[in-house]
């Protein structure tokens, strides 16, 4: 029988029990559903001391990273970019472990530590969306993305929250098959397993700092009316402004026209349906506000550089099963 995969979770404050659980629970469920120990999860801190969690909790650990950890996969889990007195030694330890572990990764903001150690140079990597801009600016040798997770050769990275769950499900699927990953997702009440190429959803209010409620309202109207799109004039009227004011807001804060932004929302919705459902191309086009299948296919290819049917085939080749 195959030996269990040894997963070392290196916990770095600031951290919450939810962040740790989103990584550990999928592995525990995989063991339970398989009826045997597929994964052996261990918890480690830099110095071997329990890790302080918010609010006022302490997470016990199995050992100290500085003393060495025997593992197949090592994941740094932290919820913010920070530092501590032994940061230089911590990074050196990560480099040493990366030479032995089959996979090294970062969860939530953990990729920052890997990048600072030089372990992501020349790799695709992502990080929780609030840190994405600073991450891309700071680490120019990293191929930074805003995807929910990235698996590039022997490196792994993901955002926080549900993105961490998506990432763990992907790792389970890669090692033990899509069927087990889907069963784990069902046990976690995950509606769907997001593929790595899906972008992290950044709340518009967060991007704008809640400075433009009219713009946020306009986008919410678009998102609620994808099947029967509103005109730009209708959106302007419903948000209490002129068409010119609406267009100015979109240009200033989103660097695009309202109609172009609306089209992108509809096409992203269509892309998800192509990857995750058995609906025909014509049905998906109608669901996303396009008048006909051929028109939808033409616009889709112009935007993504690939035809809808090719998109579906590519998803199937990558193990994404339709619902």
CATH number for position 24: 3.40.50.880
- Percentages helix, strand, coil for the chain (3-state, rounded to 5) are 50, 15, 35
Contact (Cβ atoms closer than 8 angstroms) between residue 103 and residue 119: no
d(CA 247, CA 189): 40
Tell me if 39 is assigned to some domain.
Answer: yes
Q: Are residues 52 and 124 in the same domain?
A: yes
Domain-terminating residue out of 187, 213, 228:
187
Side-chain half-sphere of 123: how many Cα atoms within 13 Å? 24
Q: Are residues 215 and 174 in the same domain?
A: no
**CB 17: neighbour CB atoms within 10 A?**
12
The encoded tokens of residue 72 equal 């197949």
Tell me if 263 is assigned to some domain.
Answer: yes
Q: Are residues 145 and 248 in the same domain?
A: no
Q: Are residues 133 and 212 in the same domain?
A: no
The partner residues of 263 in beta bridges, in order of sequence, read none
d(CA 202, CA 161): 12
d(CA 151, CA 128): 15
Domain encompassing residue 61:
5-187
The predicted model scores a pTM of 0.68
Tell me if 53 is assigned to some domain.
Answer: yes
Q: Are residues 21 and 53 in the same domain?
A: yes
Say how far residue 96 (Cα) sits from the centre of its chain.
Answer: 27
Q: Are residues 102 and 176 in the same domain?
A: yes
Q: Are residues 20 and 100 in the same domain?
A: yes
Contact (Cβ atoms closer than 8 angstroms) between residue 109 and residue 139: no
Tell me if 196 is assigned to some domain.
Answer: no
Q: Are residues 160 and 209 in the same domain?
A: no
Tell me if 101 is assigned to some domain.
Answer: yes
Helix or strand run (H / E) with residue 26? helix 17-34
Domain-terminating residue out of 132, 159, 187:
187
Q: Are residues 22 and 167 in the same domain?
A: yes
Q: Are residues 20 and 125 in the same domain?
A: yes
| DSSP track, 112-168 | HHHHHTTTTTTSEE---GGGHHHHHHH-TTSEE--BSEEEETTEEEE-STHHHHHHH
Quickly count helices (H) and strands (E) in the chain.
Answer: 14, 11
The pLDDT value given to residue 40:
97
The total domain count for the chain is 2
Tell me if 81 is assigned to some domain.
Answer: yes
Burial (Cβ within 10 Å: 0-12, 13-18, ≥19) of residue 284: buried
d(CA 40, CA 38): 7
Q: What is the pLDDT along the chain (323 residues), one digit of tens a residue?
A: 789 999 999 999 989 999 999 999 999 999 999 999 999 999 999 999 999 887 678 899 999 999 999 999 999 999 988 778 899 999 999 999 999 999 999 999 999 999 999 999 999 999 998 888 788 888 999 999 888 999 999 999 999 988 999 999 999 999 999 999 999 999 998 877 888 878 777 666 555 655 678 888 898 898 889 999 999 999 999 999 999 999 999 988 888 899 999 998 899 888 888 877 888 999 999 999 999 989 999 999 999 888 999 888 876 665 445 55
d(CA 75, CA 111): 9
- Which candidate, 231, 227, 240, 232, places its Cα nearest to that of 287? 227
Tell me if 194 is assigned to some domain.
Answer: no
Domain-terminating residue out of 129, 155, 187:
187
The encoded tokens of residue 188 equal 């976690």
Whole-number Cα distances in Å, 281 to 228, 266, 303, 312: 17, 14, 16, 9
Q: Are residues 162 and 278 in the same domain?
A: no
Q: Are residues 141 and 17 in the same domain?
A: yes
Phi and psi at 125, nearest 5°, equal -155, 155
Q: What is the CATH number of the domain that holds 300?
A: 1.10.10.60
The encoded tokens of residue 55 equal 């609010």
The pLDDT value given to residue 205:
57
Burial (Cβ within 10 Å: 0-12, 13-18, ≥19) of residue 293: middle
Tell me if 323 is assigned to some domain.
Answer: no
| DSSP track, 230-265 | PPHHHHHHHTTS-HHHHHHHHHHHHSS-HHHHHHHH
């Amino acid at each position: 029988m195959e030996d269990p995969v040894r997963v070392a979770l290196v916990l770095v404050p600031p951290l919450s029990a939810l962040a740790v659980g989103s990584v550990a629970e999928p592995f525990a469920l995989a063991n339970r559903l398989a009826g045997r120990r597929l994964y052996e999860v261990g918890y480690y801190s830099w110095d071997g001391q329990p890790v302080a969690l918010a609010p006022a909790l302490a997470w016990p650990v199995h050992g100290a990273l500085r003393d060495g950890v025997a593992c197949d996969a090592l994941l740094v889990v932290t919820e913010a970019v920070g530092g501590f007195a032994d940061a230089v030694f911590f990074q050196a330890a990560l480099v040493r472990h990366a030479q032995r572990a089959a996979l090294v990764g970062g969860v939530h903001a953990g990729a920052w530590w890997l990048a600072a150690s030089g372990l992501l140079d020349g790799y695709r990597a992502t990080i929780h969306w609030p840190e994405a801009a600073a991450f891309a600016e700071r680490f120019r040798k990293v191929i930074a993305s805003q995807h929910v997770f990235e698996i590039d050769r022997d490196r792994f990275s993901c955002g926080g929250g549900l993105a961490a769950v998506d990432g763990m499900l992907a790792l389970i699927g890669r090692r033990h098959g899509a069927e087990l990953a889907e069963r784990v997702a069902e046990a976690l009440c995950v509606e769907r397993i997001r593929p790595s190429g899906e972008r992290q959803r950044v709340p518009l209010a967060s991007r704008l700092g809640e400075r433009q409620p009219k713009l946020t309202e306009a986008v919410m109207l678009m998102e609620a009316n994808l099947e029967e799109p509103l005109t730009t004039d209708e959106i302007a009227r419903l948000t209490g402004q002129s068409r010119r004011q609406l267009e100015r807001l979109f240009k200033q804060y989103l660097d695009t026209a309202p109609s172009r932004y609306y089209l992108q929302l509809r096409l992203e919705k269509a892309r998800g349906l192509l990857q995750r459902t058995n609906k025909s191309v014509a049905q998906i086009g109608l669901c996303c506000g396009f008048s006909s299948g051929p028109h939808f296919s033409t616009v889709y290819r112009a935007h993504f550089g690939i035809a809808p049917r090719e998109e579906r085939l590519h998803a199937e080749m990558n193990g994404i099963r339709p619902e």
